[in-house]
A = this chain, B = another copy of it.
Amino acid sequence: MDQEFASSLLENAVSAFASLPGIGRKTALRLALHLLKQSETDVVAFGEAVTRLRREIRYCKVCHNISESEVCPICASPARDASTVCVVENVKDVMSIENTQQHHGLYHVLGGLISPMDGIGPQDIEIDSLVERVAAGGVNEVILALSATMEGDTTNFYIFRRLAPYPQVKITMLARGVSVGNEIEYTDSLTLGRSILNRTPFTDTFASQ
């Protein structure tokens, strides 16, 4: 759309929205015009929510998850198993795993994956701090819960090597297999192969899920 906007205020707001991932200028214009119809209080609250998010956000100094206090509620909880640390790429992954209610340990948020193509090296993400946590003792297991992609695999392998000096720490990774609800016919052969190699004893509990 090579449209001239009647106002630079509108132009600025449209450009701001269009800078967000997955939002083109057409959608951005729709969002801006929507906000114009809302009450001034609501729109000012919107602007402030965005500004404050970036200005005032803090990260847990232990696991680097988003937090309102110096140490996040998960790291601070006596109910969590501090000897098991689950390594994830970002804050969203913490939420996804918390949703499963299957992990009772702590987290370590890397803030990205090693990706030479994008110029992201091991120094750019929270790997040193992970090694420090392990070196400090008290960690028995590190669960690598990274994406099953080239970048995830690279990062897994790098962390695995960095943690080699601590053989008492068990390093595990998420099981790869057929997704629940997926048909065998449509499962890719790599995943299917892995799911045969890593087959598990059949129990009624699993069958009913």
- The residues of A with any CB-CB pair to B shorter than 8 Å are 1-10, 12-13, 15-16, 19-23, 27, 29-36, 38, 40, 42-58, 65-68, 72-73, 90-92, 94-95, 98-99
A66-B27 in contact given A46-B19, A49-B12 (Cβ < 8 Å): no
- A and B contact pairs by CB, cutoff 8 A, 17 listed: A3-B99, A6-B65, A6-B67, A6-B94, A9-B49, A9-B52, A10-B57, A13-B52, A16-B49, A19-B42, A19-B46, A21-B34, A32-B53, A44-B54, A46-B51, A47-B50, A47-B51
Q: From residue A200, how far is it (CB to closest CB) to chain B in Å? A: 28
- A95 adjacent to B55 (CB under 8 Å): no
Asked if A51 contacts B48 (CB within 8 A), the reply is yes
Q: Is the Cβ of B33 less than 8 Å from the Cβ of A54?
A: no
Among candidates B2, B15, B33, residue contacting A90 with C-beta atoms closer than 8 Å: B33
CB nearest to A73 among chain B residues: B6
Task: Please report the C-alpha to C-alpha distance between residue A49 and residue B32 in the assembled complex, in whole angstroms.
Answer: 10
Q: Within the oligomer, what is the number of copies of this chain?
A: 2
Complex formed: what's the CA distance from A2 to B100 in Å? 12
Beyond known contacts A9-B68, A44-B54: 15 more, CB 8 A cutoff = A4-B95, A5-B66, A6-B65, A6-B91, A7-B66, A9-B49, A9-B57, A10-B57, A12-B52, A20-B35, A21-B30, A30-B92, A32-B53, A47-B47, A48-B51
Nearest residue, chain B, Cβ from A112 = B37
Once the chains are docked, how many angstroms separate the CA of A117 from the CA of B45? 30
| Contact in complex: A53, B10 (CB < 8 Å) | yes
Contacts A20-B31, A33-B92 given; does A6 touch B66 at CB 8 Å: yes
